[in-house]
Structure 1
């Protein structure tokens, strides 16, 4: 991972980075010749928020964490960091989510808890977004057969309109459907 491609996207693939490596990467610094309007300071701030959430996930035992969104594009000032983490279905429901909310009560995806923000008054955001400007969604593993078809749908579609699970949805650019890279956060 050393530059954005001609479409302004991180080249397709999965790039494993520590949080320290992420801070030193082109995704934060912009590289030796940052794109016009590049806001490295804002991107550092986003990674600081991401770090807090990642530490909470690690504390609970979830270490398969992936980030994407406009953060892996040459957009000078992305609005946030999007991503997902893998968690066993029943473990997350019975232990993971309650434990995360004991650490910090932001781990909900219930639409009733979304509220607008001055920066985006028409879009309602999750509590975690308001706190850190990061949205991380669970991608369930070990899903019972009767829930497999609906458990991991992201609400993001492919070019044909098919609702995708997070690992596929976050590897495409939403407007163009072009494939792009994703970052796996490692310890």
Structure 2
């Protein structure tokens, strides 16, 4: 259930009901499961160059197309299956991003040898989080997102640039960039509000 509209939110959340629902129920809430993090990583990669609203509208189709983002299932998708996804108008039909999703699933599986995707991603949690009073004060990258981007690339991941990784860090609660007056500030339980 969505919170009452009179509550203060980040401005981007107010432009569409799907964004409002996502902001009020999901964005900034910690995610630790491999599958949950692989989904967020994949969707952030598809979002590059597009609006988050586009991704949210297509999220159910993405989940269907990529086996609910189960890394084991995605890792063994055939080239023919990926070719079929290029014909699916319900997802983003970008071949490089589709292939990267399979590639990133394989890299996720390899990471299990060193503690797994969750431990790896969360090891880049910064020592502090921004405290923006306005949306214009929210950063788009950080030293940690740059380091995470480089580390993931070394591990074989793609479409994991520093801006994309910062968006991931925001989405999964690793940093709290809700504006200070937002009713969602501190929702992660990790950072004081």
TM-score band by shorter chain is 0.3 to 0.5
Q: Indicate the structure with greater strand content.
A: 1
TM-score of the aligned structures, taking structure 2 as reference length = 0.31
TM-score of the aligned structures, taking structure 1 as reference length = 0.32
Q: Indicate the structure with greater helix content.
A: 2
